[in-house]
């Protein structure tokens, strides 16, 4: 593999001395003048949860001297998020592989095939040292292409059990990073490594004052309830929260992240809604006293790191593979979260659970403070660097 060299790496110190015995000049050269530029391709998409952990790695990758590139779908949410981070982006064809019978499975297989050819072209152009994947169906052709081109790849699984995309990618991967110890039972033993989930540093340093300014909420008013269904929203939660607003607004100020295209136009004192937040999310989390959310692993680990009491409403089994139900059960057993199943959710049960969560918020905070947190970014960086060393790169 060719490696690029830059002037910045040529730190050469010259010291000239005279050896009287051999009557010759000795040139002593010291410095890291043969250091190579490492290249990494990140991939993952479909939801913000498949992009955020990749973005969390950016500062450490840059500090370690990596040139960073990203492969995602042509028009997925990942494109906007990655381009905003000023990372070179390459879009490829992508298809969703379903667990049920559908005519779309046939057409999407063709899209995956086209994505494989697209990924091969991009990887040949960049010639990376390694590929790191977070998940989503766009990663399957990327990891397969990397294997065909003999480029090592590392994938990360946030949930307790691997999703279908990661299951398909696992045979081609060199290493598999996981967040839950239980996940190791579902991956090849020689590949699995517990690393935790990489968290974006900026999410942990939000400004409460900036959050109040952004939302227009009263910093000296009622406590703040944050409701979020993820980057794509959650219609069932949206509808129930809006139906419960008259009661909720007697006790809370409500910030509602409802997903793209899901704004209701409701105007009530103490209630504000947004489709999705990019830059202000850390500040909104900082101002929130309690949080209602789905049970995606990335969100759960961020809330735990921030010690935010939360009520989880996981995706029902009928709408998912059950991963959020497993995540929610684990965090509830650890005393980090309360759980309300969507099939049991009504405006009344929602209000009751929110009140119970708020009344016991200090107990949840203490449980989260007592956890043995792992540094996902640091651990994953070690896996990447160790793999490159093992390959002589």
Q: Give pTM, 2 decimals.
A: 0.78
Q: How many CB atoms lie within 10 A of CB 117?
A: 13
Whole-angstrom distance, CA of residue 339 vs CA of residue 329: 8
- Regarding the domain delimited by 202-369, which CATH topology (the fold level of the hierarchy) does it fall under? Rossmann fold (3.40.50)
Return the ∠ at Cα 44 (arms to 96 and 98), rounded to 5°: 15
Query: 181 or 288, which is more confident?
Result: 288
Which range is least confidently modeled, 133-137, 151-155, 246-250, 269-273? Answer: 133-137
Q: What is the C-alpha to C-alpha distance for residues 159 and 136, in angstroms, rounded to an integer?
A: 12
Homologous superfamily (CATH) of 38-196+375-390 is Glycogen Phosphorylase B; (3.40.50.2000)
In angstroms, the Cα distances linking 156 to 359, 386, 387, 388 are 36, 16, 15, 17
Tell me what pLDDT residue 46 has. 85
pLDDT over 90 at 90, yes or no: yes
Rounded to the nearest 10°, the torsion over CA 158, 109, 124, 145 is: 50
42-53, pLDDT tens digit by residue?
A: 999 988 788 999
DSSP 150: T
Q: Which residue has the tokens 């449980």?
A: 367
**Stretch 283-303: mean pLDDT:** 95
pLDDT at 289 over 60: yes
Please say if the pLDDT value at position 348 is more than 90: yes
Confidence of residue 104 (pLDDT cuts 50, 70, 90): low
Across 317-338, average pLDDT: 90
pLDDT(203) > 50: yes
Name all contacts of 214-218 with Cβ < 8 Å and 24+ positions apart.
214/280, 214/283, 214/284, 215/255, 215/272, 215/284, 215/287, 216/272, 217/253, 217/255, 217/270, 217/272, 217/287, 218/253, 218/270
Q: Where are the domains of the chain?
A: 38-196+375-390, 202-369
Looking at residue 105, its pLDDT comes to: 63
Minimum mean pLDDT among 46-50, 167-171, 235-239: which range?
A: 46-50
Q: What was the pLDDT predicted at 20?
A: 41
Q: What is the pLDDT of residue 263?
A: 93
Could you give the angle at which helices 52-63 and 376-390 cross, rounded to 10 degrees? 60
The answer for residues whose C-beta is within 8 angstroms of residue 255's C-beta and 6 or more apart is 215, 217, 224, 225, 226, 227, 272, 273, 274, 284, 287, 288
Going by pLDDT thresholds of 50, 70 and 90, the confidence category of residue 176 is very high
| pLDDT per position as a tens digit, 132-162 | 999 898 999 999 999 999 999 999 999 899 9
pLDDT over 80 (residue 189): yes
Distances (CA, A) of 143 to 119, 333, 376, 381, 393: 9, 35, 21, 19, 19
Q: Residue 18 — very low, low, confident or very high, per pLDDT cuts 50/70/90?
A: very low
Query: What is the per-residue pLDDT for 322?
Result: 85
Handedness of CA 139, 141, 142, 143 (dihedral sign): positive
Q: In this structure, are residues 43 and 139 in contact, taking their beta carbons and an 8 Å threshold? A: yes
The yes-or-no verdict on residue 98 having pLDDT over 90 is: no
- Indicate if 202-369 has the same CATH topology as 38-196+375-390: yes
Contact 382, 205 (CB under 8 A): no
Compute the average pLDDT of residues 167-175.
Answer: 96
């Amino acid at each position: 593999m060719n490696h690029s060299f830059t002037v910045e790496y040529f730190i050469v110190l010259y010291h000239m001395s005279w050896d009287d015995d051999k009557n010759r000049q000795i040139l002593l050269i010291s410095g890291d003048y043969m250091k190579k530029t490492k290249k990494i391709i990140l991939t993952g998409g479909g939801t913000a949860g498949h992009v955020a952990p990749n973005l969390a790695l950016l500062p450490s990758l840059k500090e370690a001297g990596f040139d960073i590139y990203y492969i995602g779908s042509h028009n997925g949410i990942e494109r906007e998020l990655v381009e905003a981070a000023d990372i070179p982006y390459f879009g490829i064809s992508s298809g969703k592989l379903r667990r049920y019978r559908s005519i779309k499975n046939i057409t999407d297989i063709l899209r995956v095939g086209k994505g494989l050819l697209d990924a091969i072209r991009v990887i040949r152009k960049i010639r990376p040292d390694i590929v790191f994947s977070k998940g989503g169906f766009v990663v399957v052709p990327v990891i397969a292409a990397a294997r065909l081109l003999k480029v090592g790849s590392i994938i990360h699984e946030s949930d307790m059990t691997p999703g279908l995309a990661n299951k398909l990618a696992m045979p081609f991967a060199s290493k598999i990073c996981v967040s839950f110890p239980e996940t190791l039972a579902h991956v090849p033993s020689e590949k699995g490594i517990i690393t935790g989930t990489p968290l974006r540093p900026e999410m942990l340093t939000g400004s409460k004052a900036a959050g109040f300014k952004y939302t227009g909420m009263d910093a000296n008013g009622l406590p703040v309830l944050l409701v979020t269904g993820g980057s794509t929203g959650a219609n069932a939660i949206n509808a129930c929260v809006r139906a419960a607003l008259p009661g909720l607004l007697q006790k809370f100020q409500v910030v509602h992240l409802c997903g793209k295209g899901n704004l209701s136009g409701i105007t009530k004192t103490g209630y504000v809604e947004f489709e999705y937040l990019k830059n202000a999310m850390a500040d909104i989390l900082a101002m929130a006293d309690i949080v209602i959310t789905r049970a995606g692993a990335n969100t759960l680990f961020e809330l735990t790191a921030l010690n935010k009491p939360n009520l989880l409403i996981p995706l029902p089994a009928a709408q998912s593979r059950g991963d959020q139900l497993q995540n929610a059960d684990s965090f509830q057993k650890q005393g980090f979260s309360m759980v309300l199943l969507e099939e049991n959710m009504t405006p009344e049960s929602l209000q009751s659970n929110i009140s119970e969560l708020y009344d016991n918020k200090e107990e949840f905070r203490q449980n989260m403070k007592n956890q043995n947190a792992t540094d996902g970014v640091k651990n994953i960086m070690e896996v990447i660097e160790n793999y490159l060393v093992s390959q002589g790169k």
